[in-house]
Structure 1
C-alpha cells in the first residue's frame, strides 16, 4: 500500500473486479477513449490479471485507489505500467476515476504521488503519459504534476494524434 494526503493506493486483487468493470465499463469515464468502455466482465478480468502480472514481474504497477476517509470504496485505478507507444515500450502513467470522484483533485494528487514513488525506484528516470487532445482535464492533471508536452503520437488510425507528456527524474519539481 501507498499513501498520499487523502488517498490510499492498494495492490489490486480479484475482489476489485466488479468495481474495475463499473469504472472502465462506464461510458462517462470513456468519453475521451477512442476504444470506448470495456465491453464485458471477461475483458475486465483479463485487464485486471495483466495488472497483477505486471506488478509481480516489475514490483510495481496499477493500484486500486480509495480515500483515506473511506478506504473500503474504490474510486479509481491507476499507476505505472510498461506500454507500447507505437514501436517503443515506455513507462506509462495512467489512471481512471469514477465520475463521482471528478473535480476533487484526486487525479493530480494521485499522479504526483505516483511520480514520487517511481523516481524512488532504481533505474527509473523518465515517465510518460498519453492523453487525447480533447481531454483538457487530464492535460491539466499532467501539467500540474510536473509533466511536460513532448510530442504528438499517431496511435489511433483516422483520429487526431494523441499528446505524449513526460517527466524526467532530474527535472521533477
Structure 2
C-alpha cells in the first residue's frame, strides 16, 4: 500500500483514503456514525445520542491537543464526505499503557477493506511518532469484522480483558506494520 504523511501528521494519504485529524466541523459525521445502530451493533451501550457523540468528539479533539495522537476523519480520495472514524488512543491495559486502535465506518462502505487500509496506515504512522509503543486491538469476540481486521494486519491474539461490557479479545501488533505491506510513499 502506498502511503504519504504530511509534515505535521495532520493528514495521511493511502491508495484509496485520506485520513485527517478530526475537527469541530466533523460533528455531524460523528453524530451519524456513532449514532447508527448498525455501526454500534457490537457496543454494549448501543448507539450514541447526539449529546454523547459531541462529548466523544470533544474528548478526541483533546487527545490530539494533549498527546499529538488521536482519531482521524476518514474519506475516500477525491471526496470530502466522512465515511469513517478511526485512529489511536492511549489506554491502560493490564496496568500498562498501550495504543488502542479504533475504527468505525458507515455500513455502506463495509466489505471494501477500508478499515484495514486505515488501520495499517495509522499504525505505520504511530510507529514513527511513538516507536516501540504497544498497539492493541480490543474487540468483542462476536465482532467478526474487527477480528478479521486484526488478523489481516498480523496482530496476534494474546488474551482477554474486561472491556466493552464483558470479556473482550486483545490482539497485539507483532512489530512493524510497514514490514507487512504498508510501505511509505
Where does the alignment leave 5 or more consecutive residues of structure 1 unmatched? none
Match of residue 64 from structure 2:
55
Contact 1:111-1:142 at 8 Å conserved across structures: no
Where does the alignment leave 5 or more consecutive residues of structure 2 unmatched? 1-10, 181-185
Match of residue 12 from structure 2:
2
Match of residue 24 from structure 1:
34
Q: Give CA deviations for 1:15-64 in whole Å, capped at 9, x if unaligned.
A: 110110100101000111111110x2221111111111111111111000
Equivalent residue in structure 2 for 1:99, among 107, 113, 137? 107
- 2: CA distance, partners of 1:122 / 1:80: 11
Look up the SS of the partner of 2:92 in the other structure.
Answer: strand
- 2: CA distance, partners of 1:122 / 1:156: 26
Match of residue 13 from structure 1:
23
Equivalent residue in structure 1 for 2:144, among 120, 136, 143? 136
- 2:179 aligned with 1:166: no
- 2: CA distance, partners of 1:86 / 1:19: 33
Shift in Å, 1:122: 3.6
- 1: CA distance, partners of 2:132 / 2:53: 28
- 2: CA distance, partners of 1:4 / 1:48: 24
Match of residue 84 from structure 1:
92
- 1: CA distance, partners of 2:51 / 2:176: 41
Match of residue 110 from structure 1:
118
- 1: CA distance, partners of 2:94 / 2:88: 18
Structure 1 residue ranges, 4+ long, deviating more than 4 angstroms after superposition: none
Q: Give CA deviations for 1:71-117 in whole Å, capped at 9, x if unaligned.
A: x1000100010123365442110010011110011011111111111
Residue-pair matches, total: 169
Contact 1:126-1:168 at 8 Å conserved across structures: no
Shift in Å, 1:168: 4.0
- 1: CA distance, partners of 2:82 / 2:29: 7
Look up the SS of the partner of 2:104 in the other structure.
Answer: strand
Match of residue 44 from structure 1:
53
Shift in Å, 1:153: 1.1
